[in-house]
């Protein structure tokens, strides 16, 4: 695996949030992490993206433990990754400036200064990687529009373009379409598939099982901080090994109460409201 967590435990204070999780992503695959709210999906993304170390276990990039590297070496690996959050967090500037942001922060100060100056005098051209990334999300025609004037769906697509523009090996998306309408969701999912075809590894955390079914090469189901099972979506959704997965698929596990009491033997059963 290109990026792989092995036997990791993660906690906040006294609370253990991930228990003995082993999961990785390869180049050119979409791995989806599903599970009820509060189950540890975001924590897993932060762990895989080397945002924080595990309490125990390892996170390895091409076989090298990320936390055995120097800070500088780890930063070099982190630059191979990009992250898209639920909130797109764009800034008050043209769309293309927002998309090129990740590229600029990865440049030397000299190149960056030149680019800032060209931006100030309005002579900045949209570079090819930025144009290609905007094309991928269907927003090339909005390159010069102020990012703050975009719709929520367009803004989320711009955030994905920004992640793509740095030419990453892995992209992490945390609930990327939870606020989007079906059209914007479909456009973003198509951009994700296109990234996969170009060899990017994609890790998506989502509540949306239908999205996981549409997009994934593999799905991991997390419950109570435990990776209950992982496999191709057809198997996981139609013929799961674990009764908890079946409950989740049937819409019976909505919240992660197990994370509160730490009892992994007897999962609570929550029902959708009947209305």
Among 6, 16, 38, 270, interactor with ligand ATP by CB under 6 A: 38
- Residue 55 and residue 31: Cα distance in Å, rounded? 23
Grouping H, G, I as helix, E, B as strand and the rest as coil, residue 8 is strand
Using the rule CB under 6 A, give the single segment among 32-40, 57-65, 109-117, 156-164 that binds ligand ATP: 32-40
- Residue 67 and residue 70: Cα distance in Å, rounded? 8
- Token code pair at residue 181: 């309408």
Residue 94 touches ligand ATP, criterion: CB under 6 A: no
Q: Is 141 exposed, middle or buried, given 0-12, 13-18 or 19+ CB atoms closer than 10 A?
A: exposed
Determine contact, residues 138/187, Cβ cutoff 8 Å.
yes
User: Between residue 157 and residue 186, which ones bind ligand ATP under the rule CB under 6 A?
Assistant: none
Using the rule CB under 6 A, give the single segment among 39-47, 73-81, 93-101, 227-235 that binds ligand ATP: 39-47
Residue 244 touches ligand ATP, criterion: CB under 6 A: no
State the number of binding residues for ligand ATP (CB under 6 A): 12
Residue 267 touches ligand ATP, criterion: CB under 6 A: no
| Beta strand residue intervals within 146-270, DSSP E | 170-174, 201-206, 218-223, 226-231
As measured in angstroms, the least distance from the Cβ of 212 to ligand ATP is 13
Give the binding site for ligand ATP (CB under 6 A).
12, 17, 35, 37-43, 205, 259
């Amino acid at each position: 695996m290109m990026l792989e967590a092995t036997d990791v435990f993660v906690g906040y204070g006294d609370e253990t949030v991930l228990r003995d999780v082993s999961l990785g992503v390869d180049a050119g695959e979409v791995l989806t992490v599903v599970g009820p709210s509060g189950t540890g999906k975001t924590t897993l993304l932060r762990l895989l993206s080397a945002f924080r170390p595990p309490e125990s276990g390892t996170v390895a990039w091409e076989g090298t433990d990320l936390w055995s590297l120097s800070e500088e070496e780890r930063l070099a690996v982190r630059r191979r990754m990009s992250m898209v959050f639920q909130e797109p967090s764009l800034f008050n500037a043209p769309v293309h400036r927002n998309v090129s942001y990740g590229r600029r922060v990865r440049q030397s100060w000299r190149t960056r200064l030149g680019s800032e100056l060209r931006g100030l005098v309005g002579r900045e051209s949209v570079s090819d990687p930025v144009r290609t990334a905007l094309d991928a999300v269907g927003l090339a025609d909005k390159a010069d529009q102020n990012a703050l004037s975009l719709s929520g769906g367009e803004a989320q697509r711009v955030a994905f373009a920004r992640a793509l523009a740095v030419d990453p090996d892995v992209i992490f998306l945390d609930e990327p379409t939870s606020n989007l309408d079906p059209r914007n969701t479909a456009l973003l999912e198509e951009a994700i598939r296109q990234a996969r075809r170009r060899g990017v590894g994609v890790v998506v955390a989502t509540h949306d099982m239908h999205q996981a079914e549409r997009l994934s090469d593999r799905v991991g189901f997390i419950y109570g901080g435990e990776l209950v099972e992982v496999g191709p979506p057809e198997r996981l959704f139609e013929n799961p090994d674990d009764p908890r997965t079946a409950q989740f698929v049937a819409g019976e596990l909505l919240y992660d109460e197990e994370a509160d009491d730490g009892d992994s033997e007897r999962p609570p059963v929550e029902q959708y409201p009947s209305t």
